[in-house]
Amino acid sequence: MNLRWMRYETPKIASSHHRQNWIATTLALWACLVVQGHAQDDFTSSDSAIEEPPITASDRDHWAFRPLQRPSLPAWSPASKANHPIDTFILAQLELRDIDPVPTASRRVLVRRLFLDLTGLPPTPDELRQWLDDPRPDAIERLVDRLLASPQLGEHQAQSWLDLARFAETDGFEHDKIRAEAWRYRDWVIQAINQDIGYDRFISLQLAGDEIEPEDPQAKIATTFCLAGPDMPDINSQDERKNHLLNGIAANVGSVIMGLQIGCAQCHEHKFDPISHADFYRMRAIFEPAVNVKKNISVSLLEEVNPSPAKSHLRIRGDWDRLGPEVVPSFLRIVNSTDSHLQAVAESLPGETTRRRWALAKWLTQDQHPLTSRVIVNRTWQQHFGHGLSRSPSDFGYMGDAPTHPLLLDWLATELTKGDWSLKRLHRKIVCTDAYQRGSYPDLDMETDSLDLSDRLRQFKSAIEQDPRNLTLAYFPRQRLTGESLRDVMLKISGSLNAQQYGPSFRPPLPQEVRQDLLKGQWDVTPESNQHRRRSIYVFARRNLRLPLFDSFDRPSGNESCARRYESTTALQSLQLLNSDFSREISERLALRLKADAVSPESKVHLLFVLTVSRPPTPAEVQEVLSFVQSSGEEDLPERWKDVCLAMLNTNEFVYVD
């Protein structure tokens, strides 16, 4: 007897006696299944024998599954108030709730926000001065274009994609074996972002680069995305290992590209979304021919070596060695409203492989696909505002958050496909809006009309009281720098940053208390000290170990896909910035830079503030710093200036982006 195809719904039983009998019978049936073991779980039937819930019109009516159509701009929102189509949608929501948006942030706040948001590095004093002295009406668009063309863009933007891909340079688990060539995938992501190859091509190469461009080694490297997660090469059963890898691929492709938690259907029908147990294994079957495992050897690239791949089977209750009915590789039913057939698409493509993954890539990157463009647009919005229009970026299913601005989400999604899937164009559209350029607090220098500070405070207070979660985007949400950005900014302002791009990762020195718990060879410090000052994206990514600064500031481990980093507030963060060897070294280097680049004590204070928070100090701040420096009786005591620099690195204004 096979219980897999029964509906496990508790019947409505009137009496407790009957309920006890029903429970006893059910437990007996389960025991029978366990005792009979695998012998009765081996199926040879075809996909047509699978029973699963049908996809209904009600299922397809969920907001994320509806056909993607370009909405019209809200006609009843006064056009005179909106300088950008995106702002039209946002103003419509604000007016609907009778909320006044706050004024535009000051130019100093905006320039720091743009530099850190797009490149992860602050403006230099010269760049800040050039921006403030640029009177042209399109000055901000010119600045944005320059930042989008900067090679630092990819180095900063790549990290969020690596978080999604579960990227690390080791296997994880007990031995955490090194993957010697894993850094090549990281470099590929950075280059792809800088070259703006188009999101459709970006994901296609990561799914099927070896099929699409079989002669290009870079295209093959892109497929590391699928296998970037943890692995256990030394496990006894390599079939079990392959099963684990395939489950991770299918689940990650579902969550990262389609924004659906299809991994929940590994063991049973999805509890909430219209995704069946068989749906998961049909998706998984697309990748089966390309995953080849050998004991004690890490696997990082997809490659089909068998022209006649074995048949794919559903796994009973998700157990790797309990084969269910045969499944035919195919697209996810709930999203496949046009009833496209994977095999037909694959057969229309050239090549000697099954072309299953290439067919999947082509299906995912159709302009009318309801999920692909919506998901990446939402992720891009999150990069700039801290939250997506839907606040569950990897779950567009029934348990996820509906978008706060659904028409705007669809407008941006169609705008992306119309614009050749260019992510740089998308970034530009978002950061050039009034919504992005609003203040996050009542800055004295805010560019507004005749409002005084008390009026601004009332305006901010009103917006926060009416919309405490800022769902309407009445003001810009202040965001904390990541651990990687903090490290990069500290290196940059101290004049220590090594701008070398690409190549193998480096291992900087670790504190003694961390080193003493490591096995020999797990963290061999890179001998060239200048390598230790490269950007954080190039720090060796060990799955079972993170730099203390990264760990304190919530960097994910890479064991699971991370759609949005958790932001904690802990004492360890303050201790890292105040007491770590790295912070003290940076403070010393920054103090030396002030001594070299500024003459008078006042000019040193001015330069310090410009470097750290992109603004000049107030007279009170100058006086406070000088009083501290001169309290020893010596104006230029190096240790005093080092302490001042360290204090600035520990201010909220430095750690947060307004």
Radius of gyration, CA atoms only, the chain? 28
Phi and psi at residue 395, to the nearest 5°: -140, 90
Alpha carbons 511 and 644: distance in angstroms, whole number: 24
Amino acid at 658: D
**CA proximity to 540, closest of 156, 179, 116, 120:** 179
Question: What pLDDT score was predicted for residue 77?
Answer: 53
Residue with tokens 């990819």: 154
What pLDDT was estimated at residue 5? 34
**Angle at which helices 581-597 and 601-613 cross, to 10°:** 130
Where along the chain do its domains lie?
Answer: 581-657
Give the pLDDT score at 649: 97
Report the DSSP pairing between strands 323-327 and 656-657. unpaired
Task: Report the C-alpha dihedral over residues 362, 363, 369, 375, rounded to 10 degrees.
Answer: -70
For residues 427 and 376, is the Cβ–Cβ distance under 8 A? no
- Looking at residue 9, what is its pLDDT? 37
Distance CA 309, CA 275 (A): 25
- pLDDT of res. 338: 81
Evaluate whether 273 touches 394 at the Cβ level (below 8 Å).
no
Main-chain dihedrals φ then ψ at residue 315, nearest 5 degrees: -105, 125
Q: Which two tokens stand for residue 264?
A: 């929940």
Q: Which two three-digit tokens encode residue 602?
A: 């006042």
Tokens of 8: 């496990």
Tell me how far apart the alpha carbons of residues 384 and 236 are, in angstroms, rounded to a whole number: 45
Q: What is the pLDDT of residue 48?
A: 67
Q: Which residues pair with 204 in a beta bridge?
A: none
Q: Please list the rounded mean pLDDT of every run of 10 residues in the chain (658 residues).
A: 34 43 46 39 58 94 96 71 88 92 92 98 97 94 98 98 98 93 98 98 98 97 98 96 97 98 95 96 97 95 90 94 95 91 95 96 96 98 97 97 97 97 98 95 57 76 91 95 98 97 97 86 93 98 95 95 94 94 97 94 96 96 93 74 96 96
| Residue (of 533, 529, 530) closest to 586 by Cα position | 533
Sequence-distant (≥ 6) Cβ neighbours of residue 124 within 8 angstroms: none
Report long-range pairs for 262-270 (Cβ below 8 Å, ≥24 apart): 262/332, 266/315, 266/318, 267/317, 267/318, 268/8, 268/317, 268/318, 269/52, 269/53, 270/397
Residues 420, 424, 429, 435: is their CA dihedral positive or negative? positive
- Residue 273 CA to residue 275 CA, distance in Å, equals 6
Q: What is the pLDDT of residue 516?
A: 85
528's CB contacts (< 8 A; 6+ apart) are 506
Backbone phi, psi, residue 53, to 5°: -60, 135
The three-state secondary structure class of 205 is helix
Position of tokens 């019209």?
A: 72
Strands (E), 482-563: none
Distance of CA 194 to the CA centre of its chain: 17
Helix (H) or strand (E) holding 220: helix 217-222
């403030």: which residue's tokens? Answer: 132
Count of CB atoms situated within 10 Å of the CB of 45 = 11
327 three-class SS = strand
Is residue 640 within 8 A of residue 632, CB to CB? The reply is yes
Residue 451: per-residue pLDDT? 56
- Burial bucket for residue 631 (CB in 10 Å: 0-12, 13-18, 19+): exposed
Q: Is residue 529 helix, strand or coil? A: helix
CA-closest candidate to residue 244, choices 295, 324, 318 = 318
Token pair of 283, please? 């998706």
| β 479-480/323-327 pair status | unpaired
Q: Under a CB-based contact definition with an 8 Å cutoff, are residues 183 and 573 in contact?
A: no
Q: Give which of 394, 1, 348 is closest to 164, Cα–Cα.
A: 394
